[in-house]
Structure 1
Amino acid sequence: MSDFLDDELCEFSLQEVDGECVVLRPLGEADVQPLFELIEGSREFLSDHLPWPVEECLTPEDVSAKMDAWNLQAQMANGACWGIFEKSSQKIAGCIMLGWVQWKNRSATVSYWLGQDFCGRGLATEALLLVAGESFAMGLNRLELTSSVNNLKSVAVARRAGFQEEGVCREYELLHGHFEDHIRFSLLARDFC
């Protein structure tokens, strides 16, 4: 386990993470257009449970700016983003992000999404397990995520990855003009096998 000082700023060492069905890797300039095309092709599907497909990432330039923001968060040790690449097709399938990293408390949030054509193959579950392993190896102790009570696929991913339900956050997110309740999940380093 990494030994970080509470007030030390630690840059994430984002490296490629190899799994059985997916490869997680930091995104670069060559990924802008394929990522935009993935979002564009799944925009309606993604918008069912996420606000940003109709508010952000509307052009390749928007996607590039978002990637720059993720890279800056990694440099500041406040977050990280990996592209989820399906091994069999070598195509980008989605993204998985760490955010709100609190080194003092050794905790962070995690979020993920997949394009519509990549769902139902276990890719998000594997990506979540890989990021959990990387996070705990970096010295984090707790990961948490929330998912809309209506996003049954995301809830299933969290459960399959071993995340424990902690409760419902009422009216957690304003999504397209209405409030959504979210289920809060967590995974501790000691729970991870």
Structure 2
Amino acid sequence: MFTKIVNEHTELRLLEVRHAEELFELTDQSRDYLREWLPWVDFTTSIADSRTFIEGTLDQFRNNNGFQAGIWYKGKLAGVIGLHHVNWSNKSTSIGYWLGKEFQGKGLMTNACQAVIEYCLEELNLNRVEIRAATKNEKSAAIPPKLGFQKEGCLRSAEWLYDKYVDHYVFGLIKSDYLNKGKTE
């Protein structure tokens, strides 16, 4: 199972079926907040929906195609971070993430992303990590530059979000930039 200690208060753990109720409660408590940028929120209407999501992520992990981990902060589920897909031929992946409303503003996601980046580049030996964020989702789009990602472009009308298309920024980090980051600071 995947577990990564982020710091003394935060850890990442692979989501398991037993977390379905806690995941649903977090989603439900932050529903209006999450709905602004996440298209799946309206389709998560019960604990069974969260269970189905977790079962799918466990298949993803078993198939060596990435993972979805819960972000636990001081023992409470605060959000989810994971890899959308691992392209083993090109040694690349992309990270997706979200936090419950009450956990915003604590640096949790920046720290969780850093831990996932280290895992991807050091343990999985990938060469490229990508993060995409809606151009108007300022909180999400602020994270990649803090971690050394370069803004590589904008995908116009990249995602249908309830009643409109939204553009996405694409941020990329390659292993050589990551390895050289400490040398240039």
Q: TM-score, normalised by structure 1?
A: 0.88
Q: Could you tell me how far 1:157 is from its partner in structure 2?
A: 1.3
Answer whether contact 2:149 2:171 (CA < 8 A) is retained: yes
2:14 alignment partner in structure 1: 26
Structure 2: which 5+ residue stretches go unaligned? none
Q: How does 1:68-79 map to 2 (within 5 A)?
A: 68-79=55-66
The answer for the alignment partner of 1:9 in structure 2 is none
- Answer whether contact 1:57 1:66 (CA < 8 A) is retained: no
CA offsets per residue over residues 107-134 of structure 1, 9 Å max, x none? Answer: 0111000000001100000000000111
Q: For 1:116-131, what aligned pairs fall within 5 Å after superposition?
A: 116-131=101-116
| Greater relative contact order (CA < 8 Å, ≥ 6 in sequence) | 1
Match of 1:11 in 2: none
2:164 corresponds to = 178
Q: Displaced runs of 4+ in structure 1, greater than 2 A?
A: none
The answer on 1:66 being equivalent to 2:57 is no
Matched, 1:191 2:177: yes
Q: CA deviation at 1:150?
A: 0.7
- Aligned counterparts of 1:163 and 1:141: Cα–Cα separation in 2: 13
Q: Which residue does the alignment assign to 1:17?
A: 4
Q: State the 1:78 CA deviation.
A: 1.6
Aligned AA for 1:60? I
**Alpha-carbon distance in 1 for matches of 2:88, 2:165:** 31
Instruction: State, as a whole percentage, how many aligned pairs show the same letter.
Output: 34
Matched, 1:113 2:101: no
8 Å Cα contact 2:17-2:55 kept in structure 1: no
Superposed CA RMSD:
1.1
Name stretches of at least 5 consecutive residues in structure 1 with no aligned partner: 1-13
Q: What's 2:37 paired with?
A: 49
| Paired position in structure 2 for 1:37 | 25
Quick check: 112-121 or 136-145, which moved more?
Answer: 136-145
Aligned residue number for residue 93 of structure 1:
78
What secondary structure, in the 3-state scheme, does the structure 1 residue paired with 2:30 have? helix
- Tell me the matched-pair count: 177
> What secondary structure sits across from 1:191 in the alignment?
helix
What's the offset of the Cα at 1:176? 0.9
Q: Hey, what's the Cα distance between the residues in 1 that align with 2:62 and 2:16?
A: 15
Which residue type is aligned with residue 56 of structure 2? Answer: A
Q: C-alpha distance in 2, partners of 1:19/1:101?
A: 22
